[in-house]
Structure 1
Amino acid sequence: MTIDVRPASVFEDVRAVLGPKSPTAKVCWCLSHRIPSKLNNELRGPARGEYVAGLCDADPPPGVLAHDGDEPVGWAAVAPRSETSFARNRRIPHVDDLPVWSLWCIRVRPGHRKRGISHALIAGAVAFAREHGAPAIEAYPLDNGDAKVDLTMAYAGIRKNFERAGFVHAADTTSVLAGHPRILMRLDLRPES
């Protein structure tokens, strides 16, 4: 298996990973931290997918996708923090004034888990942010230790996977997800002087 991580610019591939089985279902589509809550609540059914299709046409697209051959098998949401709800989130602090990027959602399709895809997605998101000039990238994973995490709520990622990718603990947060505290982890992307 060779996993290739690419920008999420093909809507059909994004839909394969994030979209609902029923077009009228209200699924996240990874919009809840990307758009204002009022708009997030107004978008229903197919309108959510249509909104994401527009994001896929934007530059930069809304994240990265992992592919196993031609099959999309995973997703990571990554964007400038200033363009997300994390810009105003009081539970997740700002470490400094750098125009950091946020990596806040990692999803691997059922049937493809436990194959290292989340690691490839983190590396791909880091490369994507670096290519778009990010001086640093942040994530807000669960600090779960050895405790099991409900897969539905594991979208934020887990601390050890980000540590393996070189991220370091930058701050504690007051955010809790699925009973686990979240921490702010950061990877500096600036060239060494």
Structure 2
Amino acid sequence: MAIEVRPASEFSDVRTMVGPKRPDANVCWCLSYRIPSKLNRSLVGPERGEYVRELCAHEPAPGVLAYDGDEVVGWAAVAPRSETTFAKARKIPIVDDQPAWSVWCVRVRPGHRKKGISHHLVSGAVEFARAHDAPVIEAYPVDNKDEKVDLTMAYVGTRGLFEKAGFREVSPTDSVLAGFPRVLMRLDLS
């Protein structure tokens, strides 16, 4: 298996990874942390997908996609923190004034899990941020102490996943997900 990670500019592949089975469904589309909550609540049904279609048409792309050959198998959301809700999050601190980038959602398609694809996605997100001159990249994973994380809440990643990519914890947070505390982890890209 040769996994390739590319910018998420192909809307149909992004839709495969984060879109709903029914176009009128109000699923996340990985917008919850990307846009202000008022706008997030106002976008319903197909409007959510159209918003993401617009994101895919602009530079930088809204994240990265992992491919096994021609098949899309994974997604990671990555963007400047200043363009996300993490810029004003009350429960996740801002530790300095560097223009950090954030990676906050790592998803692998069913049937492709437990093959290391999430590691490729994190590496791809790091390279994507580096290619856009980010001095540092952050993640806000759960510190699950090797306990199993419910798949519906595993999208934020685990501390171990990011440690293996070279990230280090720089701050605890007041955020808890699926009963696990989240930590702020960083990787210096300079």
Distance in 1 of aligned mates of 2:68 and 2:51: 26
Partner of 1:81: 81
Please show how residues 154-165 of structure 1 align to structure 2 within 5 Å.
Answer: 154-165=154-165
* Residue in 1 that maps onto 2:144: 144
State the one-letter code of the partner of 2:118. Answer: S
Distance 1:74 1:26 in 2: 21
d(CA) in 1 for partners of 2:93, 2:16? 33
The 2-side partners of 1:125 and 1:166 are apart by 13
Q: CA shift at 1:147, angstroms?
A: 1.1
Identity of aligned residues (%): 70
Deviation at 1:97, TM superposition (A): 0.5
Pair 1:9-2:19 in alignment? no
Do residues 29 (structure 1) and 25 (structure 2) align? no
Q: What's the counterpart of residue 91 of structure 1?
A: 91
Distance 1:103 1:183 in 2: 13
Which residue does the alignment assign to 1:133?
133
Shift of 1:146: 1.9
| Matched residue count | 190
Cα offset, 1:75, TM superposition: 0.3
Aligned letter for 2:134?
A: A
- How big is the shift at 1:155? 0.5
Q: Deviations over 1:100-151 (max 9, x none)?
A: 0000000101111000000000000000000000000000000000211001
Unaligned 5+ runs, structure 1: none
In the alignment, the residues of structure 2 paired with residue 19 and residue 94 of structure 1 have an alpha-carbon distance, to the nearest angstrom, of 30
TM-score, structure 1 normalization: 0.98
Q: Find the residue that maps to 1:48 and give its secondary structure.
A: helix
| C-alpha RMSD of matched pairs (Å) | 0.5
Any gaps of 5 or more consecutive residues in structure 2? none
**What TM-score results when the alignment is normalised by the length of structure 2?**
0.99
Q: Give 4+ residue runs of structure 1 displaced > 6 Å after superposition.
A: none
What is the Cα deviation at residue 82 of structure 1? 0.3
Local SS of the residue matching 2:98? coil
SS in 2 for 1:125: helix
Between the aligned partners of 1:35 and 1:18, the Cα distance in structure 2 is 15
